Amino acid sequence: MTKKIHVVFLILILGSHPKLAAFAGNQHSPQQQQELDWMIDHLFSITEVMVTDVASPPGAARFYSYSLLAAHLVFQKGQDRNEDPLLRHLEASYVASIPLPPESKATFDPAFPAIYAMLEVGKNIMPSGKLLEAAQEKLVKQFVKNKYVKKRELSELIPYAESVAEWVLGYAREDGYRFLSTRKRYSPSAEEGGWYPTPPAYLAAIDPEWKTIRPFFIPDAASFAPTPPAPYDLQKGSSFYQQLREVYEVTQQLTIEQKLIANFWDCNPFNVTYSGHMAIGLKKISPGGHWMGITGIACQKAALDLKSSIYIHCLVAMSLHDAFISCWDEKYRSDRIRPITAINENIDESWRPLLQTPPFPEYTSGHSVISRTSAVILTSFFGDNFQFIDTSEVFFGLPERSFDSFLQASDEAAISRLYGGIHFRDAIEEGVNQGDKIARYILEKVDFSKNILLSKDQ
């Protein structure tokens, strides 16, 4: 796949970051290590609820964003919001009313209320969120048992965490999500080359009005619209037909490694199999959930303190949120047919892709967009050539994979969609470009020169 990443820009960003060298030799105290591990563990509890609820890829990114925003707010301890690289992009009228810590706890360790607030938002923002009450009870026991929090302090810290969570939930209620169900029901256009529900489940289109959701950083959904896709044209010399043949031919001769790559990056929460007349839904992590997992792996490897770990998790989540808004805007504007439909109608009616086709239009590739966005953000924070072992899918029965950099991982995620037989090449390559542009824009908005990254004082 052609790489069009703007290398010069990345070098400038990485070279200008004043604190990347601080990763070398980072060490945790036992308490710092435990608090980071607990945060990542409880964030996965939120992921498990999303899997239970079959959260859509854009919806999952939204849930992560608001949950982690609550944790980030606690760590701000009432500091000047105009100086915070994330909060200054929220609507000003809301920011002024963010709850302050209890006066008696001006020097408290924010680890407990930050994680508690994260779970509190997850508990109230997801359909099955009440499942997280068990995680909150476990969190209390963890901090009290290890004497990181005294029992008498809970009467102040829990209400404070709940007040921060309520502020975040109030902010979330105004992002347009609650109006999605009131919008006109989506129907496939039936135009030649347009998207149509795909086998085996023929599910209805997912989140067709996601473009109406309020972003965190980008001006609007259409700001990063990619080059239009190749026109639907079945003439043998056309770009579309050549790409159609490529999907068909590549999937006929996949190597074992290519199949492993496709399955590792599948991340399709809508996967359905049939046994007789019984439909069985296979539980899978969302694309954003996979990159949340990678972010946690990087934080643990770099031995970040909890404040910095929550910050980068929150930034990646908010960037995912905006990237999905941009991608979904294009999907329903170009409304392009999926390979399975075009191949079955014009080449081979018995052909099936390795991966099950997700229920929304083809262009651009969501994995390509959000993976490149995440990879550029993480590269700007941790540096290039950051080697890591991705264990994000082990819980879901897939083996770990090793990568030499976040960009290498995003390249693999992108090309996996061709191996899986669910995307055309231009959707992949233009998706990478789209995600790259979104990430670079967000990095400019965040402005690392004013950042609080890797701060050791909590």
360 contacts: CB under 8 Å, gap ≥ 6: 195, 205, 206, 207, 208, 328, 331, 332
Sign of the torsion formed by the C-alpha atoms of 99, 105, 109 and 115: negative
Give yes or no for a contact between 431 and 414, defined as CB atoms under 8 angstroms apart. yes
pTM value is 0.91
CA torsion, ordered 150, 154, 160, 165, to nearest 10 deg: 110
Instruction: Supply the DSSP string of 160-173, one letter for each residue.
Output: HHHHHHHHHHHHHT
186 assigned to some structural domain:
no
204 assigned to some structural domain:
no
- What CATH number does the domain containing 250 carry? 1.10.606.20
455 assigned to some structural domain:
no
Give yes or no for a contact between 227 and 299, defined as CB atoms under 8 angstroms apart. no
The closest alpha carbon to 158, from 117, 125, 111, belongs to 117
327 assigned to some structural domain:
yes
Domain that holds residue 130: 7-178+210-450
More confidently predicted of 383 and 18: 383
Q: Which residues of 422-439 are buried (b: 16+ CB within 10 A; e: fewer)?
A: bbbbbbbbbbbbbbbbbb
**Peptide bond preceding 200 in cis form (omega within 30 of 0):** yes
More confidently predicted of 84 and 235: 235
Q: Residue 272: what are its φ and ψ, rounded to 5°? A: -130, 135
Residue for token digits 């950083």? 217
Give yes or no for a contact between 320 and 374, defined as CB atoms under 8 angstroms apart. yes
Half-sphere exposure of 205 (CA within 13 A, CB side): 23
Q: What would the pLDDT profile of 272-298 be if each residue is shown by its tens digit?
A: 666 565 555 567 899 999 999 999 999
Half-sphere exposure of 112 (CA within 13 A, CB side): 28
The closest alpha carbon to 386, from 402, 373, 368, belongs to 402
Give yes or no for a contact between 273 and 284, defined as CB atoms under 8 angstroms apart. no
188 assigned to some structural domain:
no
The closest alpha carbon to 178, from 2, 301, 266, 59, belongs to 59
Give yes or no for a contact between 337 and 194, defined as CB atoms under 8 angstroms apart. yes
- Give the separation between CA 85 and CA 446, rounded to whole angstroms: 5
3-state secondary structure of 278: strand
Residue 369 backbone class (left: φ over 0; alpha: ψ -120 to 50; beta: rest): alpha
The closest alpha carbon to 268, from 421, 163, 157, belongs to 421
Q: What would the pLDDT profile of 314-372 be if each residue is shown by its tens digit?
A: 999 999 999 999 999 999 999 999 999 999 999 999 999 999 999 999 999 999 999 99
Instruction: Examine the pLDDT at 453 and tell me if it is beyond 70.
Output: no
Q: What is the mean pLDDT of the chain?
A: 89
What integer pLDDT is reported at residue 6 of this predicted model? 37
Average pLDDT over residues 205-229: 97
Cα dist from 268 to 149, 317, 325, whole Å: 40, 18, 18
195 assigned to some structural domain:
no
389 contacts: CB under 8 Å, gap ≥ 6: 297, 400, 401, 402, 403
What integer pLDDT is reported at residue 83 of this predicted model? 77
29 assigned to some structural domain:
yes
Question: How many structural domains are present in the chain?
Answer: 1
201 assigned to some structural domain:
no
Six-digit token pair at 363? 């262009």
Residue 328 backbone class (left: φ over 0; alpha: ψ -120 to 50; beta: rest): alpha
- Give the separation between CA 97 and CA 345, rounded to whole angstroms: 57
What integer pLDDT is reported at residue 42 of this predicted model? 98
Q: Output Rg (C-alpha) for the chain, integer angstroms.
A: 22
Instruction: Examine the pLDDT at 210 and tell me if it is beyond 80.
Output: yes
Average pLDDT over residues 218-234: 97
In the DSSP assignment, the letter for residue 219 is: S
